[in-house]
């Protein structure tokens, strides 16, 4: 008698997701060089160059069946946001987390509007929304022995024209990021 074929009933593993902006190659290289310099001065660990990004909204663990809702939120945000220039021009740190960062001041109006729209969409779909004020930044170093004081630095600028939905996979060598979806910013909605 042949064995009956059974489909797996194990649920798919949740994905740890976030919306982000990824710098272009030139900006990413400049940020990576600055991150290495800051990490050495601060006694910290700089991230891999391919991991450098600006997080817009951290979503957290999401069941694969909810990714379509996130795709709709990303589509809506990208349709509403025009491309813009982002200039990272402030060095600072989160003392309690022992993180050094490179941020933008002021945050460009289109970026604030995009973050707000993503947050509204996430809340409407029942996803967790961070209530802290948005601070546009790229993490330069973790586990810093001394966190840099806030200071103006030579700006690193790039033309932001895409929004991404990214999965973070934590492993022994640190986080690895995989783009799940991306949308061109069109500002047509």
- The residue among 6 and 18 whose pLDDT is bigger is 18
Supply the pLDDT for residue 170: 82
Query: What tens digit of pLDDT does each residue of 74-108 get?
Result: 999 999 999 999 999 999 999 999 999 999 999 99
Q: For 128-146, what is the mean pLDDT?
A: 93
Total count of domains within the chain: 1
**CB 31, CB 138: distance < 8 Å:** yes
**For residue 140, which of 30, 26, 68, 32 has the smallest C-alpha distance?**
32
Residue 162 resides in a domain: yes
Residue 5, pLDDT above cutoff 50: no
64 φ/ψ sector (left φ>0, alpha ψ -120 to 50, else beta): alpha
Residue 164 resides in a domain: yes
Residue 19 resides in a domain: yes
pTM to 2 decimal places: 0.90
Residue 38 resides in a domain: yes
Percent of the chain topping pLDDT 90: 84
**For residue 22, which of 183, 163, 181, 178 has the smallest C-alpha distance?**
163
Query: What tens digit of pLDDT does each residue of 39-54 get?
Result: 999 999 999 999 999 9
Supply the pLDDT for residue 76: 97
Q: Which residue has the tokens 């047509």?
A: 188
CA dihedral 143→25→177→106, nearest 10 degrees, is: 60
Q: Give the CATH number for residue 73.
A: 3.90.1140.10
Query: What tens digit of pLDDT does each residue of 138-148 get?
Result: 999 999 999 99
**CB 185, CB 163: distance < 8 Å:** yes
Residue 160 resides in a domain: yes
Residue 9 resides in a domain: no
Percent of the chain topping pLDDT 70: 94
- What residues make up the domain containing 35? 15-184
In terms of C-beta distances under 8 Å and separation of at least 24 residues, what long-range contacts does 91-94 make, across chains too?
91/38, 91/140, 91/148, 91/150, 91/151, 91/152, 91/153, 92/137, 92/148, 92/149, 92/150, 92/151, 93/42, 93/144, 93/147, 93/148, 93/149, 93/150, 94/147
Residue 3 resides in a domain: no
C-alpha dist (Å) from residue 63 to 36, 59, 103, 127, 175: 35, 11, 31, 11, 19
């Amino acid at each position: 008698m042949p064995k009956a074929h059974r489909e797996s009933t194990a649920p798919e593993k949740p994905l740890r997701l976030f919306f982000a902006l990824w710098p272009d190659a030139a900006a990413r290289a400049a940020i990576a060089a600055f991150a290495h310099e800051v990490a050495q001065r601060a006694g910290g660990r700089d991230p891999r160059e391919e991991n450098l990004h600006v997080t817009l909204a951290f979503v957290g663990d999401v069941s694969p069946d909810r990714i379509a809702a996130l795709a709709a939120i990303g589509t809506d945000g990208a349709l509403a946001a025009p491309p813009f220039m982002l200039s990272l021009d402030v060095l600072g740190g989160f003392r309690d987390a022992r993180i050094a960062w490179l941020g933008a001041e002021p945050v460009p109006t289109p970026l604030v509007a995009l973050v707000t729209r993503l947050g509204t969409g996430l809340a409407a779909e029942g996803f967790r929304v961070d209530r802290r004020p948005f601070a546009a930044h790229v993490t330069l170093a973790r586990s810093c022995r001394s966190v840099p004081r806030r200071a103006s630095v030579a700006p690193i600028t790039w033309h932001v024209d895409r929004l991404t939905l990214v999965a973070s996979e934590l492993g022994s060598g640190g986080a690895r990021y995989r783009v799940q979806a991306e949308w061109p910013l069109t500002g047509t909605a």
